[in-house]
Structure 1
């Protein structure tokens, strides 16, 4: 069951969680099948948080096909082609009004964590919200006016991605407020840290099962 509508569109940008396609940087420490399982559970936790948060729309911007992991209440839109900046820009271009985009790399996200950017008065005196990641990127970005040019051309997946993106927002004259810094699930070294930050999630349970199988 979803919560009442709010003023913000929530976008989740993700890959289909299948072996050899999702979370490939978790190998060889995890097999392709295990990496896909962790990706699926991380995405499911993110979708749970989105469904429990007030939103005008909830849209999964997906690279790939849906599966039985997709819960009711989530719209699905295909990702565009191009680099990640182009795909994020294209997702924003389909929206009107305040829009918050997040990925599938932070299963520790919760409605409480998102709440400041989803409140009725969240956009009254600011134009953007920004959630930095520990690796130098960002886990969420929100725009009151989702202009794709605010993202297009920002170098992605480099240590200074977040710095460049936040500077882009500021240079456009936007008032930006930050959400807490989170750790992205990018490599095998991140798995235990993210699981410990998200006890009780599907992701943490999957990590515990895999660790048990490895030591059993």
Structure 2
């Protein structure tokens, strides 16, 4: 299994801005760092070959040293493109040929089983989408990077992103499988839900720190 993680360096003021408006930029960055670490370790637990497509510099990030250490052995490439969809296309090209599961840093509760289920879907499909509860998607798996070129014009971060992504792929004669839905952490309500349901994650511990006035 190869996993492509598309993420921002958790720098205060540059990540989780909706959460940051409510809890402060530094605390939001601490939550983002915890989420990214949870994601990386889930990929490692799955035995995945890892590739990080990164926006920003980990040297400026909250817990940047810990994140860099967790990424030992991973390939890392900078994000390229004017829109998020364009950056996804370039990220998949950088990840190379063969089956790849792409996820972000908004699902710190992702599990080995969830990653495996997405990968297994590629046996019968050109691509597999994991819908997010907000209308987006948390995972996009593909057999070959050319598959992702078909989503370059899809608007991301809308309530119709998953549906629009599926339609774009199907218009290009791609077969699309659907994985189980997960919750992306974007809002206070999302954070509270995920932290409550998955209390042993780094993200949940960071969230409890926010609730008590600490980020550690």
Q: Secondary structure at the match of 1:129?
A: strand
Q: CA deviation at 1:61?
A: 0.5
Q: Secondary structure at the match of 2:141?
A: strand
The aligned residue for residue 181 of structure 2 is 181
Q: CA deviation at 1:85?
A: 0.1
Q: Which runs of 5+ in 1 are unaligned?
A: 1-7
The separation in 2 between residues aligned to 1:103 and 1:127, in whole angstroms, is: 20
Deviations 1:66-111 (A, max 9, x none): 2212212322111113110000011112220111110000101011
Alignment of 1:108-123 (within 5 A): 108-119=109-120, 122-123=121-122
The separation in 2 between residues aligned to 1:81 and 1:175, in whole angstroms, is: 26
Contact residue 109 and residue 198 of structure 2 kept, 8 A: yes
The aligned residue for residue 197 of structure 1 is 197
Q: Pick the structure with more helix per residue.
A: 2
The aligned residue for residue 101 of structure 2 is 100
Given the superposition, is the C-alpha separation of residues 149 and 199 from structure 1 closer, same or farther in structure 2, using an over 3 Å criterion? same
- Which is worse superposed, 35-44 or 142-151? 142-151
2:40 paired with 1:39: no
Deviations 1:107-144 (A, max 9, x none): 0101111112335xx53322111100011100110111
Contact residue 31 and residue 207 of structure 2 kept, 8 A: yes
Q: Secondary structure at the match of 2:13?
A: coil
What TM-score does the superposition give when structure 2 sets the normalisation length? 0.89
The separation in 1 between residues aligned to 2:197 and 2:208, in whole angstroms, is: 13
The aligned residue for residue 155 of structure 2 is 155
Alignment of 1:18-37 (within 5 A): 18-37=11-30
Q: RMSD of the alignment, in Å? A: 1.5
Q: How many residues align?
A: 204
Runs of 4+ aligned residues of structure 1 deviating over 6 Å after TM superposition are none
Deviations 1:177-201 (A, max 9, x none): 2111111111222110121232210
The separation in 2 between residues aligned to 1:125 and 1:137, in whole angstroms, is: 23
What TM-score does the superposition give when structure 1 sets the normalisation length? 0.89
The separation in 2 between residues aligned to 1:110 and 1:15, in whole angstroms, is: 21
The aligned residue for residue 5 of structure 2 is 12
